[in-house]
């Protein structure tokens, strides 16, 4: 026991201070191992929502186990009753092991080493998804957690599945050589090669909602935001929609005024802050709500509650890179930091072009639960990679159709949405590189936006934002899985935007 504790603690510290550039596998990455290779598991508690069927969950978790079976002689058999090696459960809050889940975002899952039973628990409050950039990808998180259940600790190689952060959905997922070396150090190489699971092949049986006539005809929106409860809402005119991983939820649109009493339509921007309150902006005024209930006497002037921020905004969001609020208007952006006086530095506004590939005059911005930042303009959207500080490089390239990818409009193409001289033209395949070279950051944005990301100054309140006492936002590069390995003796997967 003491040896294992020392190893795990040393590894957690090394994740913070060491450069993630290790080429050889280290035995220090292992916790313990199973003494048999034919393992059994049971899903004793499924997700409580209807977003994923039991068949979907069974298939995705089987795929996750098969990631490790594909490179070793391990086998995994699902059982519905009796004793098993690994018990899998979807739980909310406190669930009997002294390590409660914290709701949407934050801790996504945790798992035990074999010596402690190998069980894996997933936060039932998360929006688990299958083959979607929205929500949290169940397959990839499960494959990571099952790596811990098999005895792997975290990897210092950033491309590794066992790296200590959730990087978002990867349609072309495959194990890194470091993962393979790690698992084979525990269980040996596979005696007969097998075909790797193809993550590009659809397996989900989820049903999509019928196409929404308003959003599918014109995908431009007023604002999009995540609620404190983890729901994603889209506002347009006097109506709003709730989104699911497949598109629009049934029963929408609904009138904004019926759900958010006292809130007008045609909102300019909105975001939910870490105090759990949602702020809406229109013209020169703003409103504050807790859930869907107005929190006090509103509206109030933006100039009083958000000193230094202009009226008639285009978009706003809380960015995970430093936990600060960003406002966008025209070709400029402002950073609002409630922990400093004045909350907007004299060096702002700055050009939006600092965010490489992001358009001016945007309609909305969102830090989504999968760790990516999204910008919306007209019928299209851009996915911004916070690690490369540029619009993400993908196929199809960005911008893409918001209707197809966000609102479930299957009649629209999934290809690149590219500006033309008159309106927009569609391209199913794009050959030029969009968003710059991967891994090349924007120096001005990186240096300026991270220069004071660890500012420890705090005030009880600044203007109209109440800060959570003792709440800090981690760097986007290393959201650690092991926050307290000595106390809990387990690994936790944390989302990028916790």
Kindly list the catalytic residues.
145
The rounded distance, in Å, linking the Cα atoms of 366 and 375 is 7
427: Cβ contacts below 8 Å, ≥ 6 apart:
396, 415, 416, 418
The rounded distance, in Å, linking the Cα atoms of 321 and 270 is 19
Q: Is the peptide bond before 305 cis (omega within 30 degrees of 0)?
A: no
The rounded distance, in Å, linking the Cα atoms of 318 and 301 is 20
């Amino acid at each position: 026991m003491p040896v294992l504790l020392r190893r795990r603690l040393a590894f957690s510290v090394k994740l913070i201070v060491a450069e993630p550039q290790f080429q050889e596998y280290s035995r220090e990455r292992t916790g313990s191992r199973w003494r048999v290779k034919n393992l059994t598991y049971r899903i004793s508690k499924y997700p409580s929502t209807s977003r994923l069927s039991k068949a979907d969950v069974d298939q995705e978790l089987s795929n996750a186990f098969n990631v490790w079976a594909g490179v070793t002689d391990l086998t995994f058999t699902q059982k519905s009753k009796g004793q098993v090696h690994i018990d899998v459960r979807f739980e909310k809050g406190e669930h009997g092991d002294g390590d409660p889940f914290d709701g949407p975002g934050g801790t996504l899952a945790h798992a035990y080493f074999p010596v402690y039973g190998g069980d894996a628990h997933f936060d039932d409050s998360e929006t688990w998804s299958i083959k979607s950039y929205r929500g949290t990808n169940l397959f990839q998180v499960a494959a990571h957690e099952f790596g811990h259940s098999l005895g792997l600790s975290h990897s210092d190689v950033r491309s590794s599945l066992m790296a200590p952060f959730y990087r978002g959905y990867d349609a072309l997922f495959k194990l890194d050589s470091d993962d393979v070396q790690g698992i084979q150090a525990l269980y040996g190489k596979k005696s007969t090669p097998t075909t790797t699971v193809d993550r590009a092949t659809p397996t989900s049986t989820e049903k999509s909602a019928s196409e929404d006539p308003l959003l599918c005809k014109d995908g431009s929106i007023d604002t999009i935001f995540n609620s404190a409860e983890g729901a994603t809402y889209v506002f347009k005119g006097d109506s709003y929609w709730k989104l699911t991983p497949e598109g629009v939820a049934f029963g929408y649109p609904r009138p904004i005024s019926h759900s958010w009493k006292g809130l007008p339509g045609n909102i300019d921007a909105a975001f939910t802050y870490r105090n759990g309150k949602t702020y809406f902006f229109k013209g020169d005024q703003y409103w504050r709500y807790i859930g869907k209930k107005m929190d006090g006497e509103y509206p109030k002037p933006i100039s009083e509650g958000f000193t230094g921020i202009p009226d008639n905004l285009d978009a706003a969001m809380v960015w995970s890179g430093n936990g600060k609020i960003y406002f966008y208007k025209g070709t400029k952006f402002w950073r609002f930091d409630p922990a400093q006086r004045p909350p907007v530095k004299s060096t702002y506004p700055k050009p939006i072009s600092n965010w490489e590939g992001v358009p001016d005059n945007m309609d909305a911005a969102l830090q989504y639960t999968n760790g990516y930042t999204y910008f919306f303009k007209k019928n299209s959207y851009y996915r911004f990679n916070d690690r490369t500080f540029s619009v993400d490089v993908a196929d199809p390239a960005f911008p893409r159709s918001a209707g197809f990818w966000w609102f479930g409009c299957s009649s629209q193409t999934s290809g690149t949405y590219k500006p033309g001289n008159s309106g927009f033209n569609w391209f199913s395949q794009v050959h030029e590189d969009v968003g710059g070279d991967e891994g090349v950051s924007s120096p001005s944005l990186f240096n300026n936006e991270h220069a004071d990301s660890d500012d420890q100054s705090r005030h009880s309140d600044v203007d109209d934002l109440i800060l959570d006492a003792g709440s800090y936002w981690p760097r986007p590069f290393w959201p650690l899985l092991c926050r307290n390995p000595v106390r809990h003796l387990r690994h936790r997967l944390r989302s990028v935007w916790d």
